[in-house]
Structure formats: C-alpha cells, structure tokens
Chain A
Amino acid sequence: MSSAIPQPHTLPSAAHHDYAGSKIAMWLFLFSEICLFGGLFLLYSAYRAKYPHEFHDAGNELNFVIGVINTLVLLTSSLSMAASITALQKGSRRLAMLLVGVTVVLGAVFLVNKYFEWMAKFHHGLYPNGPELLKRPPGEILFFGLYFTMTGLHGLHVIAGMVVLSFMLALMARNRIRQDDYGKLENAGLYWHLVDVIWIFLLNLFYLAA
C-alpha cells in the first residue's frame, strides 16, 4: 500500500514518487515545447525561402558580437546546470546550490544583454509597426517581426526557467531535493537545456543569416 493515495485537502503533500514516470512526462512536455517553437521555425523557413535577399540584408543589422556573447553565456549556464546535478548526486549540496545560483545569474545576464540589444533596435525605429521598419521591403519587415517574436518567446522561456530554478533552490534549501531524490532538479535541468538549444537555433537563423 505504498502507492499514492489521492486525498482531498492535502494538495501540497500528496506524495508521489515515480522517477521514470516524471522523466517520461518531462520529455513529453519538451516535445510539446519543441512543437510550439516548431510553428515559428516553419514560418521562418517559408519566409526565408520567399525573401532570401531581404533576410540576408536584415540579418546583417543584428549585432553578431552580442549574439555570440549571449550564446557563450547560455552555454556556460547549461554547464553549471549539469554540474549542479552531479554535485548533488555526489553529496555536496552547497556546491549544487551555488551552481544553480550561477545558472540563474547567467540567465539574467543573457536577458540584460537581450534588453540592450532590443532597445538599440527600438531607438532606430526598428520594431513592429515602427516608422523605420515600415519603410523597409516586406522581407525585412517579416524578418524583424519573426526576430522579435521568436527571441521574445525565447526570453519568456528563459524567465520561466529562472523562476523554476529559483523554486529548485528553495526546495534544495529545505532538503526536499536531496542526494537520493534529485528528479525535480534533473527535470528543471532538462528544461534549461532545451531553452539553451533553442537559442542555438535562433543564433543561426537570425544572427548568422547574413
């Protein structure tokens, strides 16, 4: 009689431990996320095929250096994320928490960079319905429309990931995520890696389009 017994009124403590089950569910959720971005990748490929030259010109205007720096930031954050799980498995909770903290901070660095990048474009009138953008040919309007939509949606995912990781920190502090029970942290890590991987595609599609 050790399996979960559904009890009303006991929402926060309803114990449920199925390591493989939670992994399956997390991967299914990630598939779902991939399809969410997939719709946008589909639009991107259709429009890039239609307006190859304009996508090339517009891609030239993005700041390649910031894009690469942000890629390095996110890749490093994935490293610290993976390292934190290993640290927890080996029993060093403090190090694991420190590494999750580093991951969150690197996420924030990424967003700050992104903010300045967006603001620079806004100042030049390059935003949806912006005065400068509307003067451009259709392919460039679409490029920037997709750029803001896709990096914006990705940014939301970074924020969501940071929130999730903050919860993980709290759970680790209360010893609810432990050396012998780290499934939640692993799942949070999977999510963070997905966010990272999607960014790698965005870098290629937008910054390296030129």
Chain B
Amino acid sequence: MSAMAAHALGDEPSYLEAGGRGLRSWILSTDHKRIAILYLVCMLSFFLVGATLGVLMRLEQLTMGPTIMQPQTYNAMFTVHGVIMIFLFVIPGLPAVFGNFFLPILIGAKDVAFPRLNLLSWYFFVTGAVLAVTSLFTGAGPPDTGWTFYVPYSIRTGTNVSLAVFAAFVLGFSSILTGINFVTTIHRLRAPGMGWHRMPLFPWSLYATGWVQILATPIIGITLLLVILERFFGIGVFDPAKGGDPLLYQHLFWIYSHPAVYIMILPAMGAITEIIPTFAHRTIFGYRAIAYSSVAIAALGSVVWGHHMFTSGMGEMANVVFSLLTFLVAIPSAIKVFNWVSTLHKGSIVVEPPMLYALTFIFLFSIGGLTGLMQGALAVNVHLHDTYFIVGHFHYVMFGGTGFAFFASLLYWFPKMFGKMYNRRVATLAWFPMFIGFNMLYFTMLVLGVMGMPRRYYDHLPQFHTAHVVATVGSWFLVAGLLILLGNFVVALFRGRKAEANPWGGVSLEWTISSPPPMENFEQVPTIAGPPYHFNPVAHR
C-alpha cells in the first residue's frame, strides 16, 4: 500500500481518471466521491420522475371534473410522487450526495470511516428504488394510500402497498448505514488539529443528522414491517376489528417521519452555512450557535411528532404538550436564520448563482417555517388540517428549503466535483422562472388551504378554480426553470470550461485541492491551525 501511495504523489490523476472509466470502476468503487456521483445521478433521475408526476397532478387541476385522469389514477399519482420525492430524493438527498463527497474532504480525511459499507448503502438505495418502481407496475396497481401509508386503509386496499412499503424499509437500511458511517467518520477521521469547534458547519449538521438517522429510522422500519405482517398474516396490531388501534400506527409513523423532516432540512441548513460566508467574504456569525442549534433541532425535533395528529383524537393534554414542543423547535431554526442574516451584515456580498439560490433558500424556508408555526397552534390547526395549506407549507420547506439548498450546493460544488464550470448567466437566468413559478404554485396553495380546499382531491369546486389555474401555470414556470438549470449542468459536463481549484474564493479545505479532487483527496493530511471560515478582510478583490 505505502509503496503505491508514494508512487501516486506528485501530480495525481483526479478521482474521475484514476481507477478507470468503465461501469465496473464506478459501481464497484468504494471511493466516497464516486459513490456521491452514483447517488447524484440516481437521485436527479428520480427527482425528474417525481416532478413529472407533480406536473401531471397540476394539469389534472387545470379544469373542473376529470381533465387527464380518473380519481384512482390521481390517488396513485400523489402516493407515488410522495414516495419518490421523500424516500428517494429529499431524505437521502444532501447527505448521500454532498455529504459523501465533501464530508471527508471538509474534515481533512481521505475517505469515510467505512468505504465498503458506504458502497453497500448505495446498493441498498438502488435495491429500494428498484422495488419502489416495481411496485408501480406489478400486483393490483400502484399504491394509493398517500406516502404516509395510514392504516386501516393501507391494510385493506388491494393495491400494491406491501412492495412499496418494503421498498421504504430497504431504503431505511441505506439511511441507517450512512448515518453510522458519517457519525463514526466525524468521531475518528478529523484532521490533526481539527477539534470539534474547528470543524466546518456542514459536517456539524451531518453529525446531528446521522444520529437522527440511526435512532429514528428503525422505528419506521418496524412500523412498515408491521403493515406488511398485517396484510399477509393479520396479526391485528393496527386492525380495529381485532382490537388494534390505528392511532398507534400514526404515532409510530410520525415518531420517525417528523425527525425525518430534520434529516431532510439539517444538511440543507449546513450546506447553506458553507455557501453564505464564501460569498459574503466574511467569517460566519455565531459559529457555536449554529453548531449547537443543529444538535438542538435534532433533539427537539424528535419529540414533536404529535403535531401531525392534533385532529386524530389523542387527547387534549397530549395536544397541548406537542404544540408547546413544536413552538420550541422553532427557536434553534430561527437562530440559524438570524445568524445567516447577521453574517451578511457588513459583508462584501457577491451574488453568484450559488449565493442567489442560497438566499432564496432563506426566504422560502422562512415562509415554510412560519407557516409551520401557524399549524403548530392548536386552534388554527383544526381549520388548516388536511388542506392545501399543509401541502403548500411542506413544499416551502422541502422544495423551497431542501430542494433549493440542493441546487445551491450543486451550483457551489459542481466545479469542484466535475472540474468544469457551468454557464453562470444561464444559472441565474433559470432562477427567475423557478422563483416566480415556485411562489405562484405554492403560495397559491397556502391561500387555497385557508379558503378550505382539501388536499388529495382530484377535483375542485368552482370557488377554487381561479387559484388552481394560477398554481398550474406556476408549475409550468417552475419546470421550465428547473430544466434550464439542470440542462445547464449537462452542457457544462461536456462543454464547460475547466474550473479553477478555487473559483469562489472559499477558505474551507475542499478549495485547497485541485478540481476535480485527486483520488486520495490530500497529498498530505492537512493540519488545522485555527477556526474555519477565516477570511482575510482585505485579501479579496
């Protein structure tokens, strides 16, 4: 090993060249960078499928009555849209792609702690994805339960729920193994001199996320397993006919699925925290507050699941407690937003594409967070529950938050990952239809929800018609922007000019190595002498 490594020093080939170019060299690679690219390709493909389903649902709402599909198809559409977007894109999203690629580099390591386990996680991901897709075309039709698989309907419906549920179970393995890998990596592989408080904040957010993945995911695993057992053997635990309590399913489901919201958003917040100082040319404001708030969000976020069940009849006392806890979790989230804004204050802000998308994240996520608080209030929740307000809210958080953070991260790190620079003007241009379309689509949903439009209906009443048309037209703008954005990346892969090692003037470790990074990341393990985000106030420009 050491002799080989010594040979490789000097001008090392990048990870894209070293180790070969064939398919085998990718799907058998244990290099964290290659695994990240594997995830990226899979996820963007599924994102496009999910987005297509979303557009089709919007088309259905363009006119009253059946437009392009029947109610049962619509039920399958929102179920599959949810399953794909949640389990195959948003939950694994940032950790699996940017976490895999940049966690080891940001902490000065050559790989994650368990490279082979990392590849195994990807195989679980692909297996789960294949099962999920299979469930659409086999059995008695695609699942029609909604992505929440609520009992008793999910144990009664004849559609292919068992396979879809099993797919989510397998995807859970992928998530748990990634969490274990990242937490161990952060404990064991930080570069010499990198104490916990010298670690960049994206790794901090991945650390908090990792713990949630490890502790919460098995709960959904066992819950989904019980749904399968219920369907095949009728064990009775969720079946009211046998004394089982469907409410307990909802509890178990949300014990995972609410923390899962933080699996989705924490790494997004972490990535935004990397981007903002770079383009404000200023050290991050409130480093420790941001680091600890990640941990606080992970901890508090694990005890607020009941706010999904205010109208389910779990009791007044439980409602009040969960409402209080829900308001508490807003505090660490707000701490982050205030710190980002304070970082901008008196910074030398340059609005390059990554920054534009990062700032959009703050704006959209704030709307998502504040509308979340409205639902956390018990009296308001009764009115808003199961309306389009919920749909609008979680799209502001999941898409406006995690989605935009994903694109901001891709814009930020694309030159590093592929060694190519995309067309920055086109990336900025894509932002306008995306931003306008996004708000036309989802803000309208918030309004529709307050007016009383229930979610998951394939049709609507005349008083909601105008708003539905506005939302559908918005979805077209949004998709146009998305296609420009993603097309720009594809063009850049083939025709982009070569990216420099540090195109944005960043100061974290990934910008100290070449683009794309060499196979082993660092020729010499870096020694960390001070805190991260140390910008020289006069050096730039």
Contacts and interface: CB of A to CB of B under 8 A. Distances in A.
Contacts of B216: 35
B188 A2 contact: no
DSSP majority for the B interface? helix
B196 to A, nearest CB: 15
Interface in B100-157: 110-111, 113-117, 119
In this complex, the interface size class of chain A, counting residues with CB under 8 Å from chain B, is 35 or more
Contacts of B116: 11, 14, 16
Interface residues of B, number: 60
A137 B241 CA distance: 11
B252 A43 contact: yes
A64 interface: no
A28 B213 CA distance: 10
A98 B307 CA distance: 54
Contacts of A139: 243
Contact of A141 (B2, B179, B236, B525): B236
A1 B184 CA distance: 21
A149 B243 contact: no
Contacts of A138: 236, 242-244
Nearest to B27: A8
B4 interface: yes
A24 B236 contact: no
Nearest to A137: B243
B234 A129 contact: yes
A8 B226 CA distance: 39
A31 B6 contact: no
Q: Which of B20, B24, B234, B251 has the most CB of A within 10 A?
A: B234
A128 interface: yes
A18 B20 CA distance: 28
Nearest to B29: A8
B252 A39 contact: yes
A32 B2 contact: no
Contacts of B181: 25
Interface of B: 1-2, 4-6, 19-20, 24-25, 28-32, 34, 110-111, 113-117, 119, 176, 179-181, 183-184, 187-189, 214-219, 221-223, 225-226, 229, 233-237, 242-245, 248, 251-252, 255, 519-520, 525
10 contacts: A2-B1, A3-B525, A4-B111, A14-B115, A25-B180, A37-B222, A39-B252, A138-B236, A145-B237, A149-B235
